[in-house]
Amino acid sequence: MGGEILKHKRIIVWGFKHNSHTHHYIHLGYSIGFKALGYETHWIDGHDSYDPALFNDALIFTEQWAVLSHPIPLNPTSTYAVHYLGNKNNFVEGNPGPSFYLGRVGRLIDVRYNANKWNDKNYVYELDRNRLTKIGSGSYYEKGDTYDNFYTVWATNLLPEEINLEDRFTQRENYIYFGGTIGGGHGGPDNCHPVREEWDNRIFMRPFINAAKENNIEFKYDCPWVSPTSMEAHRELVKKAYLAPDFRHKDALERGYIPCRYFKNISYGQLGVTNSKAVYDFSDGNVVYNSDTHQLFYDAQKQKENFDLIKSQMLYIRENHTFINRCKELLEVVNG
């Protein structure tokens, strides 16, 4: 198990199976990671039958809305690591926040984004990482009075041994590929739902698409809200693309959000390409970055066959940003 001794009998990942939610991929990643480390691991959602005794002396990883939509057993002998728990005094209707767990579980850990700052319907915080305890390559720990905080990023869905350095030599085809939500979702750059400007990644996507058109390169996308591809098909589309960039909207850029797409695309053998300064800083500059996304296309075009650069990016992800890393980091917090 790599030296990590779990202070509980088992691990439970609660919620979001079968592509029912974007957090499906996160729960799948943690489930795969813990199993690969050799722990007894159960992935359960509200539709599954289960033995309530499983929740005795367990580490339970979940997400607040998965809990509230499908009530979870609360056990005083177990640790609950809950993403999107919230820390505002006035929560959105239907979310009781930490009070739902305190006094009813053995230990509560709030799983938060490792971003520079956050302010939405449930959270408000700014990170001063100098006063936090760094845990591994992507996470930080903060001890609280009644519950603790675990600031983390996500990861690629591949295990380290599944990241094949030879994939960087895949024959590229004449298309740019973006798999994910565009604008307000349910469509592409020209027909998706409208969204507020600060949440609209099309602002940064369109100059890149225009640069691609100047070079007679097609733009392909996969909308997860309309016709999501399988993970295997998505991986092949990324691998074979001329380029597979990631575009963050203004709000994500200001928060310093680190997307899982950055980890995944590189792990599949693609060149890392981003308009996010936070991603550039997070990777110590080991990614192609430009805030001017028209120029970003040409910067990336120059590096798309720099196989030494792609190899260094892939090794960085393989060593630091799989769900094996995230599981180990959470275990370090749980084990105290």
The pLDDT score that the predictor gives to residue 122 is: 87
Are residues 143 and 17 part of one domain? yes
- Over residues 152-178, mean pLDDT: 98
pLDDT score of 94: 76
Q: Per residue in 222-236, is it b (16+ CB within 10 Å) or e — as a string?
A: bbbeeeeeeeeebbe
Cα–Cα distance between 265 and 92 in angstroms, integer?
34
What is the arithmetic mean of pLDDT over 201-220?
A: 98
Number of domains in the chain: 2
pLDDT above 80 for 182: yes
For the chain, what's the residue count?
Answer: 336
Tokens of 24: 């499906």
Close Cβ partners of 93 (under 8 Å, ≥ 6 residues apart): none
Confidence of residue 7 (pLDDT cuts 50, 70, 90): confident
1 falls in which pLDDT band (50, 70, 90)?
Answer: very low
Instruction: Examine the domain organization and report whether 52 and 132 are in the same domain.
Output: yes
Q: Cα 131 to the chain's mean position, in Å? A: 24
Q: Report the sign of the C-alpha dihedral through residues 281, 282, 285, 288, in that order.
A: negative
Average pLDDT, rounded, for the chain: 94
Task: Say whether both 116 and 171 belong to one domain.
Answer: no
Regarding whether 168 and 116 lie in a shared domain, the answer is no
Residue 4 forms part of a structural domain: no
- My answer on whether 149 and 168 are in the same domain is no
- Residue 51's domain is classified under what CATH number? 3.40.50
| CA–CA distances in Å: residue 86 to residues 68, 169, 184, 321 | 13, 43, 24, 25
The alpha carbon dihedral of 18, 100, 10, 50 has a sign of negative
Write out pLDDT tens, residues 51-98.
999 999 999 999 999 998 888 999 999 999 999 999 887 666 778 899
DSSP state of 170: P
pLDDT for 191: 95
**Cβ-contact 247, 179 below 8 angstroms:** no
- Contacts of residue 254, defined as CB under 8 A and 6 or more positions apart, other chains included, come to 117
Task: Answer yes or no: do 124 and 178 share one domain.
Answer: no
pLDDT given at position 2 = 45
For residues 118 and 231, membership in a common domain is answered with no
Structural domain span for residue 26: 10-155+322-335
User: Is 57 inside a domain boundary?
Assistant: yes
Is there a contact between 310 and 270 (Cβ–Cβ < 8 Å)?
A: yes
What number is the average pLDDT over the span 138-152? 96
Residue 211 placed within a domain: yes
Contact residues for 25 (Cβ-Cβ < 8 A; gap 6+): 154, 157, 260
Q: What is the pLDDT of residues 225-274, one digit of tens each?
A: 888 888 899 999 999 999 999 999 999 999 999 999 999 999 999 999 99
**pLDDT (mean) for 12-16:** 94
Do 51 and 180 fall into the same domain?
no
**Same-domain status, 141 and 169:** no
Q: Which two tokens stand for residue 80?
A: 């609950």
166 and 314 co-located in one domain: yes
pLDDT at 107 > cutoff 60: yes
Is residue 3 situated within a structural domain? Answer: no
